[in-house]
Amino acid sequence: MSNPTAIPVEDPAVVTVENSIPRAITVGPDTLVRDYWAARAHQHTTDRYLGIKMSKFPEDLRVYEHLMWVAAPDVIVELGAQSGASTLWLRDRLRTLHGYGALAAPPRVIAVDIDLDAARYNVGVRDPEWADSISFVEGSVCDPAVRAAVQAHVPHGAVCMVIEDSAHVHETTRAALELYSDLIAPGGFFVVEDGCVDVPWMRIKDDWPEGVLPALNEWLVTPQGSAFRVRRDLEVYGVSCHPGGFLQRIA
């Protein structure tokens, strides 16, 4: 397979502190919250996992670990895989829980994206045996046929968690909620990422997409959405890319 040039993997032979750890930000007693947020938002786009770029706040990843422990999902459906780093990170966390006996079945991550070339390549470089625990489904999150293809990778009786991290616009957010929320059993979690794009003080670039929170709020008042509760209390570390995005099924 050819190496996609858009999101290459770092050569492990030349990994250094400088090219594998994001540059530190400086915070002082006079630093404004918005300035801190802007610095963190820029920093997280240069972070990495296993040498692969992964645009996730560490605070949000820590919350995911809590949710995995509480809900014990055997399957995580990741809508939007980007470079594949988060696919590996999620799989590795599930493997750890399975090793401790916290999961009933061997775990699997199902990664969905319209273009998976970079993710497939990067995941393959780091783990040639990835197919034992990762499934890739290429296509739009809005496409019911893609939803059907995802279902084919979900074992009967599996406990699922869904993370929506696709285009961060109204259409894809609403489609993800409508098509994939039924995978979540009572007590389980659906995370809608990057609602920060719709919070005025958190928008640091004019070209950021928007429509996540309007789509989410519209869906929550539907019969389907009423089965979920927004858990703002899960934004436990004071900074999150996903304001209002942690949802727990209650019925």
Per-residue tokens: 225: 């959405």
Domain 55-249 has CATH 3.40.50.150: yes
pLDDT tens by residue, the chain, 251 residues:
344 444 556 565 566 666 778 999 999 999 999 999 999 999 999 999 999 999 999 999 999 999 999 999 999 999 999 999 999 999 999 999 999 999 999 999 999 999 999 999 999 999 999 999 999 999 999 999 999 999 999 999 999 999 999 999 999 999 999 999 999 999 999 999 999 999 999 999 999 999 999 999 999 999 999 999 999 999 999 999 999 999 999 99
Report pLDDT for 129.
98
Per-residue tokens: 10: 């770092």
Report pLDDT for 18.
65
DSSP 91-157: HHHHHHHHHTT-SSS--EEEEEES--HHHHHHHHHH-TTGGGTEEEEES-TT-HHHHHHHHTTS-TT
Report pLDDT for 15.
63
Q: Pick from 106, 113, 112, 111: which is nearest to 73 by CA?
A: 106
**Do residues 137 and 150 touch, judged by C-beta distance below 8 A?**
yes
Predicted TM-score (pTM) of this structure:
0.94
Report pLDDT for 1.
39
**Do residues 118 and 87 touch, judged by C-beta distance below 8 A?**
no
Q: What are φ and ψ of residue 167, in 5° steps? A: -95, -10
Give the DSSP H or E segment for 229: strand 228-230
Per-residue tokens: 32: 């404004």
d(CA 95, CA 207): 37
Q: What are φ and ψ of residue 246, in 5° steps? A: -90, 110
Map tokens 């927004």 to a residue: 230
Q: What are φ and ψ of residue 111, in 5° steps? A: -100, 130
